[in-house]
Chains A and B, each alone.
Chain A
Amino acid sequence: MALQYYLILSALLFTIGVIGVLVRRNAIIIFMCIELMLNAANLAFVAISRNLGTAEGQLFVFFVMAVAAAEVAIGLAIIVSVFKHRETINVDEVNSLKG
């Protein structure tokens, strides 16, 4: 199958992720949408790698997955700490720093 289908799919996934980040208010859901964006990139990498016949892109995906996992660990910890202070993880209500 031609490369562009995969790229279009990945672009769609990425856009869905962006829209999710824009419209959802729950920090964890926002975080999940960001993961979706990362995975859209991963899809593009794998498809391009397959198309070019080089392994670089697939290797890249492994690194990205590791980074994403680390990001989730840190992200959840920080969100928990915010929750302890405010009893909410609604990003609209976490706005004491502004101006």
Chain B
Amino acid sequence: MPLEIPDINWSLLMPQLVIVSTLLIVLVFDMFDAISKKTLGWMTIVGAGIALWSSIDLLQAGTDQTQFNEMFRIDSYSLFFNIIFLVSTILVALVSISYLGSGDKKQGPYYLLILLATLGMMLMAAGNELIIVFLGLELMSLSLYVLASYFRESPASSEAGMKYLLLGAFASAFFLYGIALVYGAAGTTNIPEIISKLSVGDQLSLLSESPLFLAGIFLLIVGFGFKVAIVPFHQWAPDVYEGAPTTIAAFISAGPKAAGFAAFLTIFVDALPKLPTQATGVIVLLAMLTMTVGNVIAIAQTNIKRMLAYSSIAHAGYVMIGLAAANPDGKSSAMLYLFIYCVMNIGAFGVVIMARTADGENLMISDYAGLGFRKPLLAMFMTLMLLSLAGFPPTAGFVGKLYVFKSAVEARHYWLVIFGAINTAISAFYYLRVVVTMYMREPEEELEFKPYPPTLVIGLVLAAIGILLIGILPSLLLDQAQSAVQSALL
């Protein structure tokens, strides 16, 4: 049998290729001691920037093709997610440059792993085949396990890495088993083929009721649910966020969550209408549970990193609302929400890094007392990020929530919207508590803060501009997300 070599259009793979070359360059340059380790950070930023630019370029050209025998999808959906991942990577790299300092010799692998994880995320979003999604997921996860335990000298960091690894591998096994079952029932691992096999004409096919298939689909939910930290698969998140280096906590809370949802949405938004109703029921229940548990536990937190961890769990719940709506609006609003969420969450973690003293980080919320007048810039950034997370207009967070809720109204999930609204109110309580602490409380002791590193301020200014711009001019981004979904439908 002659071997068929598929035609490959390399220009369509530019974003991924740029990331691969960048990580090779970083790998090589890391070997030269003469090169400042900060340069590696800048290389990462430049590489991700070029990949971002080429993703935007492809998106504007309206690319919609598959590569490698339909295993790999380059359409506006995957390109939009590329933009989310790359923006997150750039912001995290900007924040990291000053966080790690210049003397540390171990920075090469750090940026290398961030780039590898980014590549994994891009694979997940572009995967048209469960194998690709699995490989992307593992590439991303394995890099993140190492990054979480990156501070070898810190017991908390190693502990975070070990917990993340054990729980992550456990969830991956469920995910893999789910793929096996779906493969067994549907006879293929190609996602569009699986979905098309669910119906014959207007009727649902036998496959949509096959227990093997349904069990497999459920295990996929477990696998994705773990990666995006939805309740009850969320418990790794607070521990890992707290123990991991703060920059990595920011990274894990942003890109990988978006990547998990990228694959989640591709499969489920199209599949849910063709599955028995209780599949939607499971998603709705998980969404309610995730929002509520995340927000309620966040109220009881005193450590700001843990609070942000629980808040990010709650935000996964909001995205699930868009997923449960299972309509094009739900998909585009979930995409929009993920983008906004990534920017504001990295911003919030960035401010946590900004509030460093010579003794290390100040992670207790009470440490922020009185910062409103003593550190106006820091307090302003924090207030903006928290108001956006809480969903106040005219910030991006408001726009994101509005459209997610709207899509659920259209899908008649009224209870879900009511739950979402109540949860937004609960969440305002703990976000505003930090703001109140900053502006209304007097500090117990005067803390000597380190001077703000310029790259961090640049990163935060970019995030702040993004949040306000999307809040004031939402059509800028929403049109992109909507056209991305439209083209995915056609």
Q: Which residues of A contact B (CB under 8 A)?
A: 3, 7, 10, 14, 17, 21, 27, 30-31, 34, 37-38, 40-41, 44-45, 48, 51-52, 54, 56-57, 59-60, 63-64, 67, 70-71, 74-75, 77-79, 81-82, 84-86, 91, 94, 96-99
Interface residues of B in 130-160 (CB under 8 A from A): 131, 134-135, 138, 142, 145-146, 149, 152, 155-156, 158-160
Q: How far is the CA of A94 from the CA of B189 in the complex (A)?
A: 39
Select one of B166, B177, B187, B301 contacting A37, CB under 8 A.
B177
Q: How large is the interface on B (under 10, 10 to 19, 20 to 34, 35 or more residues)?
A: 35 or more
Select one of A48, A96, A98 contacting B155, CB under 8 A.
A96
Q: Decide yes or no: A27 and B187 within 8 Å by CB, A67-B135, A99-B238 being known contacts.
A: no
| B interface, over-half SS | helix
Contact B142 A40 (CB under 8 A): no
Question: Does any Cβ of A come within 8 Å of B38's Cβ?
Answer: no
Q: How far is the CB of A34 from chain B (nearest CB, A)?
A: 5
Q: How far is the CA of A45 from the CA of B130 in the complex (A)?
A: 13
Contact A71 B138 (CB under 8 A): yes
Contact B169 A71 (CB under 8 A): yes
Contact A60 B131 (CB under 8 A): yes
| A interface, over-half SS | helix
The number of residue pairs between A and B whose CB atoms lie closer than 8 Å in the complex comes to: 118
14 residue pairs bridging A and B, Cβ less than 8 Å apart: A10-B180, A31-B169, A63-B134, A67-B134, A71-B142, A77-B146, A81-B149, A81-B158, A85-B155, A85-B158, A86-B155, A94-B162, A97-B238, A99-B303
Residues of B within 8 A of A84 (CB): 158
Q: How far is the CA of A16 from the CA of B135 in the complex (A)?
A: 25
Q: Decide yes or no: A56 and B183 within 8 Å by CB, A82-B162, A86-B155, A97-B239 being known contacts.
A: yes
Interface residues of B in 159-203 (CB under 8 A from A): 159-163, 165-166, 169-170, 172-174, 176-177, 179-181, 183-184, 187-189
Q: Which residues of B contact A (CB under 8 A)?
A: 131, 134-135, 138, 142, 145-146, 149, 152, 155-156, 158-163, 165-166, 169-170, 172-174, 176-177, 179-181, 183-184, 187-189, 238-239, 242-243, 301, 303, 306
Q: Decide yes or no: A99 and B306 within 8 Å by CB, A45-B183, A63-B131, A78-B162 being known contacts.
A: yes
Residues of B within 8 A of A99 (CB): 238, 301, 303, 306
